[in-house]
Chain A
Amino acid sequence: MIFTIAARELRSLFLSPLAWAILAVTLFILAYLFLTQIEAFIGLQPRLAAIKGAPGVADIIVAPLLADAAVILLLITPLITMRSISEERRNRTISLLFSAPVSMTEIVIGKYLGILSFFIILLALLALMPLSLLAGTDLDLGKLAAGLLGLTLVVAAFSAIGLYMSSLTEQPTVAAVTTFGLLLLLWIVDWAGTTEAAGSSMLAQLSMLRHYEPLLKGLFNSTDVAYYLLIILLFIGFTIRRMDASRLQH
């Protein structure tokens, strides 16, 4: 049942030009970034050859590419998630789900997986770029895998937040703006204090960026993974609560 809803969600995304446009623009920009990183690497190569244990392609090309990809995804996630619930409420199509023998949890998780599968497709296309390096050079696959896992977790957390924001309002644009605001805040929240005060280290713990950086370096830390999983569960839980409440008041 969850997968039926997810499939419908994904299908509707691809039936609108928005998803295609987003895929095209994002991949174009990422490809450009990828090529500039390759150029930088070629420039550095003679000097790197002289150093023993120098950083490899994974550090110089893949890590910056994935770091930039996270920022771009921060910009586009609100556009993908904004319509998922708000538009159904606005067009009153949500009553189709409400009067079907489906629980609220199934509806919300179905919708979430639909959105997530769109981003998995995007990430799969993105992963092809670094993988193409395998044709000409050695690539640290472990580092690439850690980076991609990090990016998947980041975008999964973005989607959960976007879904929740979409359940709060009937206006897709409002959902997009609030999602963007919250995502950006969570991204930059550690800028508040670079000093080692007690407060700022707590803010650093909240920051999405802080938990992403270790994974880019190939450092798999269970606290980082737990952080993203917690965010995802929290916001999916909020969404289910919110949808249940929407039947109570009007």
Chain B
Amino acid sequence: MSRQALVQVKHLTRYYSQTCAVNDVSFDLARGEVLGFLGPNGAGKSSTMQMISGNLAPGAGQISIAGIDLLEKPKQAKREIGYLPEQPPLYRELTVDEFLRYCARLNRIRRSHIGNAVATAKERTGLGDVGRRLIDNLSKGYQQRVGIAQAIIHNPAVVILDEPTVGLDPLQIREIRALICELGKEHGIILSTHILPEVQATCSRVQIINRGKLVFSDTTAGLESRMNATALIAAFHSAPDLAALQQLAGVERVEPLPGNRVRLHYDDSNPAEALVEQSVAQRWRLHELTPEGRTLEQIFIELTCSEEQYPHSGDSSQ
């Protein structure tokens, strides 16, 4: 069980009449992983998550949760899923406690365990002191937390969160991210977002989906190595000769920039150390040195804006 993938998605496809929302998507999720799902609006993130959570029937493909086929045995498989949709499904006329009790019962938690389950979920999401308030009267951030509490109340193997930090203030975002990291230790988590730093902060694996197709899938570590610096930007008070800079070990190419700045492209060895030594020795008066790397944003844009790959697609609005 521990070695088995918690979620297995195979060749998932979904059409909305003529439009293909999800096209042949396959991936696995193991216990202890936080999988970040990235993509521009309308890429098929939400549709994929709705299908994994059983809210939407797939057009074709296979989904299994903790080894149980979702389409063949939906009841057993859904026990292992906690799902927070984009818009949290809250009954606004109930209090937080009433709502969570109802969710606990819906998820078939035994009567004697309900009190415990509600208390644990509230504690983990920081809802301790709002239990008796009406959900309608809570702020957006607290409502979002109730949504998360609802998704984890039955201690599911897989937690699916669709844009969990939308509409929260920066402090709440940090708390929710910390919560996600903590949940990720015992559960498998699928998280969709279009906030790129969120992925770097919380996820152990990243998948980018565009136009219904999976275009990138790698661990965050792998992603970081892709993002590694390949250039340095240096600023001097008395600029040296470009030829002198070219002499430094490792430098491939020197590109002058306005304001006594240069960009040093390098290949394998980082010339920063040599540059500083030379600067001191020859009084170039170096006052700024910045490593320049590709950001996740650049990778994201490269992957999602390469429209040329689809010669048949009619619109090229993006």
Q: Mark B78-99, 1 if CB is under 8 A from A, else 0.
A: 1101110101011101100000
Residues of the A chain whose Cβ atoms lie less than 8 Å from the Cβ of B79: 101
Let me know if B11 is at the binding interface, CB within 8 A: no
Residues 1 to 23 of chain A near chain B (Cβ within 8 Å): 1, 4-5, 8, 11-12, 15-16
Residues 143 to 183 of chain A near chain B (Cβ within 8 Å): none
Contact present for A99 and B56 (CB under 8 Å): no
Q: How far is the CA of A100 from the CA of B83 in the complex (A)?
A: 9
Contact present for B89 and A93 (CB under 8 Å): yes
Q: How far is the CA of A16 from the CA of B105 in the complex (A)?
A: 23
Contact present for A96 and B75 (CB under 8 Å): no
Let me know if A47 is at the binding interface, CB within 8 A: no
Let me know if A52 is at the binding interface, CB within 8 A: no
Contact present for B78 and A101 (CB under 8 Å): yes
Residues of the A chain whose Cβ atoms lie less than 8 Å from the Cβ of B91: 8, 12, 93
Let me know if B150 is at the binding interface, CB within 8 A: yes
Partner of A247, one of B56, B75, B85: B56
CB distance from B292 to the nearest CB of A (A): 43
Partner of A12, one of B89, B93, B105: B93
Residues of the B chain whose Cβ atoms lie less than 8 Å from the Cβ of A98: 53-55
Let me know if B103 is at the binding interface, CB within 8 A: yes
Partner of A95, one of B55, B74, B94, B107: B55
Residues of the A chain whose Cβ atoms lie less than 8 Å from the Cβ of B90: 93
Partner of B85, one of A11, A92, A102: A92
Residues of the A chain whose Cβ atoms lie less than 8 Å from the Cβ of B108: 1, 101
Q: A1-B108, A93-B89, A95-B85 are in contact. Are A100 and B78 (CB under 8 A)?
A: yes
Residue ID in chain B nearest A92 by CB atoms: B87
Residue ID in chain A nearest B93 by CB atoms: A15
Residues 58 to 115 of chain B near chain A (Cβ within 8 Å): 74-76, 78-79, 81-83, 85, 87, 89-91, 93-94, 102-103, 105-108
Residue ID in chain B nearest A94 by CB atoms: B89
Q: How far is the CA of A101 from the CA of B56 in the complex (A)?
A: 15
Contact present for B76 and A99 (CB under 8 Å): no
Contact present for B54 and A99 (CB under 8 Å): yes
Residues of the A chain whose Cβ atoms lie less than 8 Å from the Cβ of B57: 247-248
Contact present for B107 and A101 (CB under 8 Å): yes
CB distance from B55 to the nearest CB of A (A): 5
Contact present for B78 and A99 (CB under 8 Å): yes
Q: Mark B19-35, 1 if CB is under 8 A from A, else 0.
A: 00000000000000000
Residues 123 to 174 of chain B near chain A (Cβ within 8 Å): 150
Q: How far is the CA of A134 from the CA of B33 in the complex (A)?
A: 71
Q: How far is the CA of A1 from the CA of B106 in the complex (A)?
A: 7
Q: How far is the CA of A5 from the CA of B79 in the complex (A)?
A: 17
Contact present for B103 and A96 (CB under 8 Å): yes
Partner of A100, one of B50, B56, B87, B107: B107
Residue ID in chain A nearest B82 by CB atoms: A99
Residue ID in chain A nearest B105 by CB atoms: A4
Residues of the B chain whose Cβ atoms lie less than 8 Å from the Cβ of A8: 91, 102
Q: How many of chain B's residues touch chain A, expressed as a range?
A: 20 to 34
Residues of the B chain whose Cβ atoms lie less than 8 Å from the Cβ of A99: 53-55, 78, 81-83
Contact present for B76 and A101 (CB under 8 Å): yes
CB distance from A178 to the nearest CB of B (A): 25
Q: How far is the CA of A12 from the CA of B107 in the complex (A)?
A: 19
Q: How far is the CA of A213 from the CA of B85 in the complex (A)?
A: 50
CB distance from A38 to the nearest CB of B (A): 39
Q: A98-B54, A100-B78 are in contact. Are A4 and B106 (CB under 8 A)?
A: yes
Q: Mark A71-110, 1 if CB is under 8 A from B, else 0.
A: 0000000000000000000011111111111110000000
Residue with the highest number of chain B CB atoms closer than 10 Å, among A16, A91, A92, A99: A99
Q: How far is the CA of A11 from the CA of B90 in the complex (A)?
A: 15
Residue ID in chain A nearest B76 by CB atoms: A101
Partner of B75, one of A12, A16, A102: A102
Residue with the highest number of chain A CB atoms closer than 10 Å, among B81, B89, B103, B106: B106
Q: How far is the CA of A9 from the CA of B22 in the complex (A)?
A: 35
Contact present for B76 and A96 (CB under 8 Å): no
CB distance from A113 to the nearest CB of B (A): 15
Partner of A103, one of B75, B82, B83, B106: B75
CB distance from A94 to the nearest CB of B (A): 7
Residue ID in chain B nearest A110 by CB atoms: B106
Q: How far is the CA of A16 from the CA of B93 in the complex (A)?
A: 8
Contact present for A247 and B55 (CB under 8 Å): yes
Let me know if B16 is at the binding interface, CB within 8 A: yes
Q: A15-B93, A96-B89 are in contact. Are A102 and B56 (CB under 8 A)?
A: no
Q: How far is the CA of A16 from the CA of B136 in the complex (A)?
A: 13
24 contacts between A and B (CB under 8 A): A1-B108, A4-B102, A8-B91, A11-B94, A12-B94, A15-B93, A15-B94, A16-B93, A91-B87, A92-B85, A95-B55, A96-B103, A97-B106, A99-B53, A99-B55, A99-B78, A99-B81, A101-B75, A101-B76, A102-B75, A102-B78, A247-B57, A248-B57, A250-B16
The 10 closest A-B pairs by CB, nearest first: A96-B89, A99-B83, A101-B78, A93-B89, A100-B106, A15-B93, A4-B105, A99-B53, A101-B79, A98-B55
Given A1-B106, A93-B90, A95-B85, 8 more A-B residue pairs with CB atoms under 8 Å apart are: A4-B105, A91-B89, A95-B55, A99-B55, A99-B78, A100-B106, A101-B76, A101-B79
